[in-house]
Structures are given as C-alpha cells and as structure tokens.
Structure 1
Amino acid sequence: MRRVCGLDVHKDSIYMCILYENGSKIESVFGVLTPELDKLRDLLVSHHVCEVALESTSIYWIPIWNILSVDFSLKLVNPYFIKQLPGRKSDVKDAEWIATVLQKGLIRGSYVPDRMIQCLRQYERRNHELSKNIVHAEQRMDMILQRCNIRISNYVSCISCKGYQKVVNAIISGESNPKVLVTLIHKRTLNKHGRQVVEDSLNGFVSDTDRDILRQYRDERMQMEQHKSENKAKMQAICEAHYCEELELLQTLPGIKEESAANIIAEIGVDMKMFLTASAIVGWAGLKPRNDQSAGRIKSRKITHGNKYLRKILVEAAWSAARTKDSRFMKMYQRLLARGKSKQKALIAVARKLLVLIWNMLSKKEAFNPEYKRRIQAA
C-alpha cells in the first residue's frame, strides 16, 4: 500500500500528515530542532512512507530536506501551485492537502540542486549581496561629501572610479586643499569639464566627524571587496575540481567569461535533466514572454517571474555578447533594434537565446560552434 506524506513547514513548527491509499491518515505536529526532525524521520520510516512533499517556505525547508533526503523521495513544492479551494483552512488541513495532491500525482517538484551546487550558489548569492552593499557604501560616502559641498561626483564618470576613490582617501588622510585634490582626477575629466570647474567642486568644508564616517564606509567597502575576491576564488576552486568540463564549455559562448560561467553553474547546475526542454529552463529563469491573451487580443508580453539571480547574470552576459564584433548576438541585437524593439527588450531576447544555447551545450556536452547555423542553411 502506497503511503505519502505532506509537510506544512513554518518557522517554529512542522505539521505532518501521512496519507494511505484507503483514505486513512496520521496527523502530528513537530518542532524544528534537530531532535524533533529526527523523530519525524523515524516516524516516517516506521510507517514505510515512500514519498514526502513539503512547501518551499523561505529557507525553513532546507534543514528538513537535508535530514529526510537520505531516506525518502522528496518533492519541494511551490505553495502558489497547490493553493486550496476557498473554505476552512488550518495548518493541519494544509499538510493533508499537500499529501492528497502528492498521492494523486498533481504536483511536480521544484529544482533542488545537489550539495556541491548549493555551496556554489551560496558563494554566488553572497557576492550578489556584497555587490549591492558596496554600491550602498559608495552612495553613503558620496552623500557625506555632498553635505560638505564637495561635488566631484557631478563630474567623474562614476563614484566607484579610481580618481573619485583617490580623492576620498586623500580627504580621509586629512587633505583639504582643492589644488592638491584636483591632481588626483583623471586628465580626461579635467579636459572635459575644465580644470577650474573640477577644482571648485573640490572646495568644501570637511569636519573631523565627516572624515571619521567616511573612513568607516571606506573600510567597510574594502572589506566587502576582499570578501568578494575570496568567494570568487572558492567558487573557482570548486568548479575546477568538479565542473571543469562545463566551465570550459560555457566560456566558448561570446559574452561569458570564467566568472559568469561559474555563476551560471551555481544557479542551474550541470545536469539538464531537471529541465526537460530549453523552453522549461527559459521559463524557470523568467525570460519567457507572458502569454496573456483574451478574445484574440494580446494584453501583455512582459517576461514572467523567475530566478532573478540567473536573469541578472544572463542579461549582463547578453550585453557583452551584443557588443562582440561580428557575433550572431550582435547581429541579432541590431536586427531587433532595427525592427523597433527597445534596447531592453532586445537585450532580454539575446539573454533568452544565450540560455537556450547553454541548455543545449550542457545537455549534449558540446562547445558553442558559431558556424553551426550557417552550415545548416547552406545545406
């Protein structure tokens, strides 16, 4: 007799329902500490449960998955796809509903990568977080300088450029003479805006408190940059040890270098069996146009929701590929612009094309061949 289990996962509790084929059920509630999870596992083993489905609630499902994955076939379920019909609702009924739809084969599991890919993903997403924090620290530094009426950010290309950072370091060190500070700015900036204008933008009043806060933000930024470098090195070591072939394959695509290749592997892994078609992985990444049509009228063609981390990596790679001279991606990008598409839509289309190629390359273990399409057309 087939037995399945549904788990409704919360921050501090887990509601369980074991369902038999004859309709009988066993319900219970467990805590989330490791001894409680061990009790849950032992109970499932004693009842000979073959399949377990659990909701992907925040990160609370991960410890449960790690303990149960050794003994059971697990399915991680998006709560959006198993919403109950309107009516009475409770946590116990949620667990029973999950078990019911699992028993009837009405749900499919979400993609859960293996342990090594999860390690890669942790480093990659930590770097994504660090990048945002670095930008925030730079913005706070500029806010302090603006308060001091130092307006150099109005003239440099960006607040992360070397000239700007040299000025910040000099001010932290106690330098306040505009004639000295202006010598740290790149000549191109001086020629573009005029030396006197740039010098005037460096003429302000900086208090000791301002210097102290600037130093704190500067040190935070430097520490975060160091952590990013450490994470990249660890990702590189993991990829070279376990995914060397895939790392090299991905780098044959225009716009994808070593770092981007490692980030892509961290998000999608190297086994494409979880994504049966290229269209499936495109939808999972949120790069597929929405099919919103009624009475023959198209209401929307916006891209769907999906993996925002992967989408960001692919859009950055697409931008690089679209600027690669004489590449098919550059021609595709320019062709879409000529048809009246916006730069953003054209870039999304190139990113989608890249992901389709990546799926095929990893599925077949073949490098990118720019001449492949031409050979087919010639034949």
Structure 2
Amino acid sequence: MEKVCGLDVHKDSVFACILDEQGKRILEKRYGTLTPDLTALREALIERGCGSVAMESTSIYWMPVWHVLESDFSLKLVNPYFIKQLPGRKSDVKDAQWIAECLQKDLIKGSFVPEGILQQMRQLSRQCRRITKSRVRLEQQMDNQLQRCNIRFSNYVSNQGNNVSLRKVIEALITGERDPSRLVRPVHGRTKNKHGHQVIAASLEGVINPTDIEMLKGCMEQIDLLEKQQAACLNHLEELAEEYFAREISLLCTIPGIQPYSAMCILSEIGNDMSVFGKASHLVGWAGLRPRNDESAGKIQSRKTLHGNKYLREILIQVSWSASRSKKTFLGKKYAHLSKRMKSQKALLAITRKILVVIFNVLRTEQPFDVNRNLQAVMPD
C-alpha cells in the first residue's frame, strides 16, 4: 500500500489526514482555502511522499483544491453518499481520516471529472441554461406588469418569450404610444385573423402610469443584455466544439431528437471517452436515470431514481420529448407503446434512459447511429 490522504473540504477550510503504508496517521492538519494555503497543502503532501488523494464532492468548493493538486497526485472525487461516516463519530478530522482509510483499502471509486476543454464547454453550456432561466423569469415579470395594466394581449399569443409582436407592442408602449388602433398595427396578421381585429385591439387598451413604463423598460433592458450575453456564450461554445469535437457532435446529431446545441451540452457533461464509465449501465446510474434497488424482507421499499447529473438529465429530457413526438422513429413507437401501460412521465424517463444508452454506444464505437445495429442495446427495459 502507498501513502494516501483524505481531504474534508469546506468553504473556508480543508482538513487533511495522511496515512502511511501501515495505515497510521502521520499528519492531521487544518488548512485554509486561499491559494497560498492550498499551495502549502500540496507541498506538505509532496514532502511526505503521498501518492493518492481523495476528497468529497462538496458543492463547488472542491474545484480549486482539485486544480491545485491535479498536476502532482492521483486524485479521486467521491460522492458523499457512498462514504457516509458512522453516527456518533462525526467530526471534520474523523471525516478526513475515514476518507483516507477508504481510499487506502480501495473501497471507493472516483467520480468522472472532465478535463481541459470539456470543463470550459461545461461552464459555457450551463451558463447558457442559467441565462435562459433568467430570461424566462423576466418575461414572466413583464407579462405580470402588462396584466396589472389590464393589457391582455399576451392571452392571445402562444409564445410570450419569443413573440415578435408582443415585443413590438411593449416597445411602442415604452415610447409613449397609447392608442390601441396604432398598437395593433405591428401585431402579426395571423394573430389578428385568428382572434379578430377588434378583440386584439381591445386587449391593448389599458390603464398605464409612468411607473409601469419604467418597470417594462427595466425588464426589456435586462432581457436585451441577457440575449447579448447568451449569444456570446453560445458562440464561444460553438467555437470550442467545432475545433475539438466536430466529429463527436456530428455523430450525436444522427440520433433522433438531438440537434447541434443539445449535442454540445451532452458532450460537455459526459465527455467523448466512454471508457471512464465502463458500461452503459454505469453511465445511466451516474446520470441518475436508473431506478434504485431498495428491497427489504422481500418488500420493495422504493424504485425512485437516485440523484445524478441534473444538467445532463435536463437536456436529455428535452431530447426525449422531441424524439417521442416522431412516430416514424423506433423511440417514438416505443414511447407510444409504453405510455399505454404506464404514466407518460415514466414512459418519457424510459425513453430518456434508452437515448443515453444509444449515446454511449455511438461515442464508444465512433459510428453513426443505426437503428438495426443499436436496437438490441436499448430495447430491454
């Protein structure tokens, strides 16, 4: 056995415990999380000849520690769910010692941590989704402001967020236009033909005060800023994907329901090397799409899925919705079959799991998706 170190990482401190070849403690010390403190931790580990280091995946606090140590040690990032300490023996020092003991006796497996470009792509793809959520929140706030003024035009459009007519109406209101007969002019003809010109004009007549205009103006300015930030973020993501993973993106786009943007998001979360997961079932479990096996005394306690990569699940669910709506693909036919004997949400989750297995096989074999070749790998439930 080699000398190992367990790290209990917190926001403001890192507790380190080093064990020698016989499992005896040779260092127990608390370090800060500033860069000089982490550098001192690295030097202490090098001085004592430590070869492997394990740490819990505590929020984002493990990331700077990982970046400082990754060039000199064999690192393992461990899910805290799998190394819970015994009740009544809980302290930061004991946690670090327990992590070190589990590492030395090879009782834990490291989680997947992407490197280099994939880390950058992951940050960009997640930022795009965060910006989208912020935009939706502002669009809802803007719609509430219009409803407060008794302007009900949003009741007659299908997409409030990206509706061009609604944006033009709000811009006209901000510039001072109040006449419904003029506000109705930028509205798309299909909307006026569907609901009637008089109805649309009546929905644009309301009671507006200067404060309402300031609120709408503030929301529009924030939305414009977020759109610029999202466009820049997406352009950077596309540049990295095109430069380093063009072939993988094209392979993923052969799978039903996957478009270039979703392919980039999926690749940024799972990477292009499937050997780190071993089998498709391991990837499915890591993503949190595999039902748990919780049985006691012959009774099934729970079949709920475990927690996994929520960002990956989110994009895969969207892909599954797209694939399930097509009746020509085997995934659409499978969803129609499953939805007859189970709830639609469960059927969709089953399709999501099958799509992830297809993604694993496409990236592992580096071959485009072929329904005849990949069908056997995804059909069993």
TM-score tier by shorter-chain length is over 0.9
Tell me which residue corresponds to 2:222: 220
Compute the displacement of 1:323 (Å). Answer: 2.5
Bigger Cα displacement from structure 2, 272-281 vs 339-348: 339-348
In 1, the alpha carbon distance for the partners of 2:211 and 2:123 equals: 37
Tell me which residue corresponds to 1:318: 320
1:72-125 CA distance string (max 9 Å, x none): 000111222111111232211111111111111111111111121110000001
Cα distance, 1:108–1:361 mapped onto 2, change above 3 Å = same
Cα distance, 1:52–1:249 mapped onto 2, change above 3 Å = same
In 2, the alpha carbon distance for the partners of 1:373 and 1:62 equals: 37
Structure 1 counterpart of 2:20, which letter? Y
Compute the displacement of 1:362 (Å). Answer: 0.7
- In the alignment, structure 1 residue 340 sits paired with structure 2 residue 356: no
In 2, the alpha carbon distance for the partners of 1:56 and 1:301 equals: 25
Compute the displacement of 1:266 (Å). Answer: 0.7
Structure 2 counterpart of 1:243, which letter? F
In 1, the alpha carbon distance for the partners of 2:360 and 2:375 equals: 20
Assess if the C-alpha contact under 8 Å between 2:3 and 2:20 holds in 1. yes
Residue ranges of structure 1 left out of the alignment (5+ in a row): none
In 2, the alpha carbon distance for the partners of 1:331 and 1:21 equals: 57
Compute the displacement of 1:194 (Å). Answer: 3.0
Structure 2 counterpart of 1:340, which letter? R
Compute the displacement of 1:299 (Å). Answer: 4.7
Bigger Cα displacement from structure 2, 51-60 vs 189-198: 189-198
Tell me which residue corresponds to 1:20: 20
Helix, strand or coil: the match of 2:107? coil
CA RMSD, aligned part only? 1.8
Tell me which residue corresponds to 2:113: 112
Bigger Cα displacement from structure 2, 243-252 vs 80-89: 80-89
Tell me which residue corresponds to 2:202: 200
Cα distance, 1:374–1:361 mapped onto 2, change above 3 Å = closer
In 2, the alpha carbon distance for the partners of 1:22 and 1:375 equals: 48
Assess if the C-alpha contact under 8 Å between 2:153 and 2:203 holds in 1. yes
Cα distance, 1:79–1:299 mapped onto 2, change above 3 Å = closer
Tell me which residue corresponds to 1:309: 311
In 2, the alpha carbon distance for the partners of 1:86 and 1:350 equals: 39
Q: Where do residues 181-260 of structure 1 align in structure 2 (5 Å cutoff)? A: 181-260=183-262
Structure 1 counterpart of 2:42, which letter? R
Compute the displacement of 1:270 (Å). Answer: 0.5
Tell me which residue corresponds to 2:78: 77
Q: Identity, % of aligned pairs?
A: 50
Cα distance, 1:327–1:88 mapped onto 2, change above 3 Å = closer
TM-score (norm: length of structure 2):
0.93
In 1, the alpha carbon distance for the partners of 2:148 and 2:56 equals: 49
1:44-79 CA distance string (max 9 Å, x none): 111110110111111111111111110100011122
Assess if the C-alpha contact under 8 Å between 2:361 and 2:374 holds in 1. no
In 2, the alpha carbon distance for the partners of 1:142 and 1:298 equals: 46
Bigger Cα displacement from structure 2, 367-376 vs 278-287: 367-376
Tell me which residue corresponds to 1:9: 9
Helix, strand or coil: the match of 1:183? coil
Assess if the C-alpha contact under 8 Å between 2:257 and 2:323 holds in 1. yes
Helix, strand or coil: the match of 1:14? strand
In 1, the alpha carbon distance for the partners of 2:196 and 2:294 equals: 53
Tell me which residue corresponds to 2:356: 355
In 1, the alpha carbon distance for the partners of 2:138 and 2:376 equals: 51
Tell me which residue corresponds to 2:290: 288
In 1, the alpha carbon distance for the partners of 2:369 and 2:375 equals: 13
- In the alignment, structure 1 residue 145 sits paired with structure 2 residue 146: yes
TM-score (norm: length of structure 1):
0.94
Number of residue pairs aligned between Structure 1 and Structure 2:
375
Cα distance, 1:181–1:298 mapped onto 2, change above 3 Å = farther
In 2, the alpha carbon distance for the partners of 1:30 and 1:318 equals: 46
